[in-house]
């Protein structure tokens, strides 16, 4: 399988993601890897944080035997606030309805939502994102068609869903042609009150 051939490369990238996530995931946390794919990231998270990690995806492509639930890409088969964190790593651009998926992530997360995304910012990154989308859609038969968004577009969607960005930054190295960014989000709680006007 393709994933098995590239496991060492993906494993190194997953370790770097764990280092980036280390301020936000605690030892022993219960983490949902939403769109887990091969489960290389899931297994790395489990080992790095000694975490209780569950994967979910629309297709089972795991090469590591982590616990797994199938999802339709719009709703998640989990209880409200079941996870300390939800990780969505390079998945939203493949989602048929990223807004619906984010709403479900908010529902099942009692803590933070950590999102890694490729951004089509600049000519080179845009070209590579377009190539990636075309190859993924054709290689894996992705019916929803990959759709990359720019940083301002994601930030607009987060605001729409009352998600507060508590941290963000570049997740790509200097030699990576694609701009990768991490967003750490939490639900913004709106307090309503009655001022008692007569």
Q: What tens digit of pLDDT does each residue of 46-62 get?
A: 999 999 999 999 999 99
What does the pLDDT read at residue 124?
79
Residue 61 resides in a domain? yes
Structure tokens at 27: 């030892």
Residue 192 resides in a domain? no
| Predicted confidence pLDDT, tens digits, the chain (198 residues) | 555 667 788 899 999 999 999 999 999 999 999 999 999 999 999 999 999 999 999 999 999 999 999 999 889 999 999 999 999 999 998 888 999 999 999 999 999 999 999 998 888 777 877 776 666 655 655 565 668 899 999 999 999 999 999 999 998 776 678 889 999 999 986 554 455 544
Looking from the CA of 177 toward its CB, the CA atoms found within 13 Å total 10
**Distant-in-sequence, close-in-space partners of 69: CB < 8 Å, separation ≥ 6:** 54, 55, 56, 76, 77, 78
Q: Do 74 and 48 meet the contact criterion of CB atoms below 8 Å apart? A: no
What is the CATH classification number for the domain harbouring 106?
3.40.50.150
Residue 162 resides in a domain? yes
Domain count, the chain: 1
Q: Which domain holds residue 88?
A: 2-187
What does the pLDDT read at residue 135?
67
Residue 157 resides in a domain? yes
Residue 197 resides in a domain? no
Strands 179-187 and 109-119: antiparallel
What does the pLDDT read at residue 142?
56
What does the pLDDT read at residue 148?
87
Residue 195 resides in a domain? no
Structure tokens at 79: 């209880």
Residue 73 resides in a domain? yes
Q: What is the pTM of this model?
A: 0.87
Residue 196 resides in a domain? no
What does the pLDDT read at residue 140?
59
Structure tokens at 137: 């859609």
């Amino acid at each position: 399988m393709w994933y098995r051939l590239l496991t060492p490369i993906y494993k190194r990238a997953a370790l770097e993601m764990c280092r980036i996530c280390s301020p936000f995931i605690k030892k022993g946390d219960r983490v949902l890897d939403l769109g887990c794919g091969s489960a290389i990231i899931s297994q790395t998270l489990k080992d790095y944080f000694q975490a209780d990690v569950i994967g979910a995806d629309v297709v089972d492509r795991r090469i590591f035997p982590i616990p797994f639930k199938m999802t339709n890409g719009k709703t998640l088969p989990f209880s409200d606030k079941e996870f300390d964190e939800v990780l969505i790593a390079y998945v939203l651009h493949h989602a048929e309805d990223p807004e619906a998926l984010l709403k479900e992530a908010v529902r099942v997360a009692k803590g933070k939502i950590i999102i890694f995304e490729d951004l089509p910012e600049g000519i080179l990154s845009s070209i590579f994102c377009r190539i990636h989308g075309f190859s993924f859609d054709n290689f894996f038969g992705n019916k929803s068609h990959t759709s990359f968004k720019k940083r301002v577009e994601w930030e607009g969607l987060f605001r729409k869903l009352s998600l507060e960005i508590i941290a963000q930054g570049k997740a790509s190295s200097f030699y990576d042609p694609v701009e990768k960014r991490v967003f750490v989000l939490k639900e913004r709680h709106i307090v309503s009150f009655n001022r008692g006007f007569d």
